[in-house]
Every structure is written in structure tokens, then in C-alpha cells.
Amino acid sequence: MVSAKIDILQMVMSAGLVVQLVLLTLVLFSITSWAIILIKYRYMRRAFRESALFIDFFWKSRDLTDAFTKSKQLQGSPVARIFRVAYLELRKLSKQGPTGEPGRRPTEKSSLETRTGGIDNVKRALRRAINTETTRMTQMVPFLATTGNTTPFIGLFGTVWGIMNSFHGIGQMGSASLAVVAPGISEALVATAVGLAAAIPAVIAFNFYTSKIRTLESELISFSADFLNVVERDIFRGQGGK
């Protein structure tokens, strides 16, 4: 095991400059992708846990104000964040009054128009909040796809370049024995191995996080629809609870 590590290190050190640059690039890709994997794992784990806590609290609470207070404690929940946006928009509607204009006496028609317009504002606020959360969830994830798609080809480039140099050296020496060919080719193949080592976990993580993001996005849309149903059912009655 130790000797194998030393051999690989020796092969890297004895490789050509281009192959070494390729290996350095692949290592940087791998380090960055692993950092993203760990960051997104912590983010997704917290998002799912706190979103589940908030949704459970939301349906058990009897007042939107209590849910708003709870949402401020769950900073890692995308569902709690879109609720806060919608709740603040809803408070603007309640402060606006039944007519939307100070000094004007409310009528049934004007009150209905104001509340309908207010609900439309809440819907738009929720859509914007969902788009913002989706953008936040997908940050850095495309880099994993880039790593999975490009590092095998970068490694292959290093391998081809190394083999070219090996055959060039063989031509100059005029000898094609296994002892002459094998070291150069083995050094070149290290680039392909490193490229695959960088690509495989990146592709797995990209597919995993893409699935999790779709699940969270579906949860946001579902909660948004449920919240609007609560608002349309109760706010038109002039109530602040659920």
C-alpha cells in the first residue's frame, strides 16, 4: 500500500510539465467539488429538518403571528422564509385598510377589490420568494455537473499528451521494449485516473442534490398553495388566524 503511493507520487513527479499542469487542474476541480458537496449537504440537511418543523408548527398554531415568530427562529428553512415574505405582504394589506385609501368610507365593492388586489400581491410575493429560494438552493450545484462533464476529458488530454511524449522519446532512442514504453504510458494514464476520480463523486452528488432541490421546490409550491387557501378563506372574513 505504501509502496503503491510512493510509485504514484514518483510517476507524477517524473511526468512532463503539461501532464503535471493537467493533474493540478484536476486536483483543484476535485477539491472544489468536494467542498461544494459538503456545503450543500449541510444546507440540505438543515433545510429539510427545519422546514418539516415549521410546517408542523404552522398547521398546529392558531394564529399567523405565532407562525411568523417561529419562522424567524428557523433561519435555515426555505418554507419559513417564503412564509415570512408572504406574511409581511399580508400585514401591508391589513394596514392598508378595507378601502386602501384614508378618509374614504368602505363599500362592499371597494373592500372586495382591495382584498382581491391584496391577495394578488401576496401571490406575486410568494412567486418571487420561491424563485429566490430556488436560486439559492441551486447555487454552486452546476459546478458539480461541470466537473463531472469536463474532468474526464481533461484527464484524457493529459494521457494523450503523455503518450505522445512517450512515443516521441521511443523514436529518439530507437528502442520499443516494454521497459522503455511502460513507464511513460503509466505516467500518462495517471491523468485519466485522476480525472475519473474527480468526475464520479461530482456526478453522483449532482444527481443527488438535483433530486433534493426538486423535492424542496415541490414543497415550497405546495406550501404556497396551502397558505393562499388559508388567506383566501379567512382573511376575506376579516380574521387573522387560521
The model's pLDDT over 72-125, given as tens digits with 9 standing for 90+, comes to 999 999 999 999 999 988 887 766 555 444 444 444 444 545 555 567 888 888
Which residues, 6 or more positions from 213, have their beta carbon under 8 angstroms from its beta carbon?
134, 137, 138, 141
Quick one: pLDDT at residue 208? 96
Q: Which three cell numbers stand for residue 3?
A: 509502496
What is the rounded CA–CA span in Å between residue 242 and residue 233?
9
Give the global pTM. Answer: 0.78
Quick one: which of 136, 142, 138 has its CA closest to 78? 136
- pLDDT above 60: residue 50: yes
DSSP letter string, 15-61: S-HHHHHHHHHHHHHHHHHHHHHHHHHHHHHHHHHHHHHHHHHHHH-
User: Is the pLDDT reported for residue 4 higher than 80?
Assistant: no
pLDDT exceeds cutoff 50 at 213: yes
Query: Is the pLDDT assigned to residue 133 strictly greater than 70?
Result: yes
- Residue 189 has what pLDDT? 81
pLDDT band for position 12 (cuts 50, 70, 90): low
Q: What share of the chain has pLDDT > 90, as a percent?
A: 47
Segment 154-175, tens digit of pLDDT: 999 888 887 777 776 666 666 5
Q: How confident is the model at residue 177 (pLDDT cuts 50, 70, 90)?
A: low
- 19's grid cell: 501532464
Taken in order 122, 128, 130, 136, is the CA torsion positive or negative?
A: negative
Q: What is the rounded distance in angstroms from the CA atom of residue 232 to the CA atom of residue 234?
A: 6
